[in-house]
Structure 1
Amino acid sequence: MKIVVLADTHMPRMAKKLPERLLAELANTEAIIHAGDWSSMAVYEQLAAFAPTYGVAGNNDGEVLQAKFGTSRLLQFGPWRIGLVHGHGASKRASTESHAIAAFKDTPVHILIYGHSHIPVLKQVDNLIIFNPGSPTDKRRQPLYSFGIIDFEDSEQPIRHVYYADKS
């Protein structure tokens, strides 16, 4: 099963349309996960036209998106339990990653997906895979735009980033 993972689209402010590189992967995905800061329900509608779309709201999402998605979600794909959260929090001292981990401290998950920082992360801490896809439309201080792919059938690299320079 191939899942496209993204966060922090911030559309239409940061992009008027989904990037071509992302569209190429969406054309043959079986599910989509968005870790918040959609900024518009239109982004959800565009993604849902490709595949079932799961997500959470971020700190830049209004009442409609907050009501639809909530701030955290537990997803199950086969034997894989995925915790999904945007990662923002009240404490300025704690990192985005720390906020995300804390959201699932009492819930066992295999993969934790978060956004907010726009910084791509893929690492394993004990038995937990921590994944931030970065942003496909707002790279901030990162050298490239990015999103992620989870493919449970890929034995060599089941979770990876896709990086690209042009968001058009």
Structure 2
Amino acid sequence: MRLLIMSDTHLPKRAKALPEPLLARVPHADVVLHAGDWVDTATLDLLERLSRRLIGVYGNNDGPGLRARLPEVAYADLGGLRFGVVHETGAAQGRERRCADRFPDLDVLVFGHSHIPWDTTADTGLRLLNPGSPTDRRRQPYCTYMTATATDGRLTDLELHRLPRK
């Protein structure tokens, strides 16, 4: 199962559209995961149209229209793994323990908010992934997103993709 993982698109505030390299991958992913801060409903509509399956949550910058259509936390079984998607996880210090305590039944937690790519594993085995942002790099050198494969209870081929600077 091919996964495309993104967060913090902030459209149209930070960019006018999703980057073409990211958009080109959407139809080829079995599942697209978006960890919130869409900002506009047009991006949600677009990804619903283009993707085979979309799992998304709302973030702190998402208004009533997005909150009415998206949950705060989403759960899915993908490729034999139990996934959760949430926008905010709090401060980086203590994140693994905090998330492992909050989500004890998950194998993988996808989150956003910081715009900082993150890939760590808690003592419990919970894998935490933040794809960064494809449109707003903030203090990072590149805008980013992730792809991975979930098969037979394993997450493989995880790749952080750097988008060209504009």
TM-score range, shorter chain: 0.7 to 0.9
Q: Report the counterpart of residue 42 of structure 2 in structure 1.
A: 42
Q: Report the counterpart of residue 85 of structure 1 in structure 2.
A: 86
Measure, in 2, the Cα distance between the counterparts of 1:166 and 1:53: 27
Measure, in 1, the Cα distance between the counterparts of 2:88 and 2:97: 5
Q: Report the counterpart of residue 151 of structure 1 in structure 2.
A: 149
- Deviation per CA, 1:62-86, whole angstroms, max 9, x where unpaired? 0111121121111111321011100
Q: Report the counterpart of residue 19 of structure 1 in structure 2.
A: 19
Q: Report the counterpart of residue 164 of structure 2 in structure 1.
A: 165
Q: Report the counterpart of residue 121 of structure 1 in structure 2.
A: 118
Q: 1:143 is paired with a residue of what secondary structure?
A: coil
Superposed, 1:44-59 pairs within 5 Å as 44-51=44-51, 52-59=53-60
What's the TM-score once normalised by structure 2's chain length? 0.87
Tell me, yes or no, if the aligned pair for 1:72 and 1:84 is still in contact at 8 Å: yes
Tell me, yes or no, if the aligned pair for 2:40 and 2:62 is still in contact at 8 Å: yes
What's the TM-score once normalised by structure 1's chain length? 0.86
Q: 2:36 is paired with a residue of what secondary structure?
A: coil
Q: Report the counterpart of residue 72 of structure 2 in structure 1.
A: 71
Measure, in 2, the Cα distance between the counterparts of 1:103 and 1:46: 33
Where does structure 2 lack aligned partners over 5 or more consecutive residues? none
Measure, in 2, the Cα distance between the counterparts of 1:77 and 1:23: 21
Identity of aligned residues (%): 36
Q: 1:33 is paired with a residue of what secondary structure?
A: strand
Measure, in 1, the Cα distance between the counterparts of 2:155 and 2:96: 30
Measure, in 1, the Cα distance between the counterparts of 2:155 and 2:102: 28
- Deviation per CA, 1:137-159, whole angstroms, max 9, x where unpaired? 00001001101112125x89432
Measure, in 1, the Cα distance between the counterparts of 2:141 and 2:60: 24
Measure, in 2, the Cα distance between the counterparts of 1:9 and 1:95: 21
Tell me, yes or no, if the aligned pair for 2:96 and 2:128 is still in contact at 8 Å: no
Task: Give me the CA root mean square deviation.
Answer: 2.5
Tell me, yes or no, if the aligned pair for 2:117 and 2:144 is still in contact at 8 Å: yes
Tell me, yes or no, if the aligned pair for 2:4 and 2:148 is still in contact at 8 Å: yes
Q: Report the counterpart of residue 109 of structure 1 in structure 2.
A: 106
Tell me, yes or no, if the aligned pair for 1:87 and 1:96 is still in contact at 8 Å: no
Measure, in 2, the Cα distance between the counterparts of 1:96 and 1:43: 32
Specify the code of the residue in structure 1 equivalent to 2:25. Answer: E
How far 1:112 moved relative to its partner? 0.8
Measure, in 2, the Cα distance between the counterparts of 1:14 and 1:48: 21
Where does structure 1 lack aligned partners over 5 or more consecutive residues? none
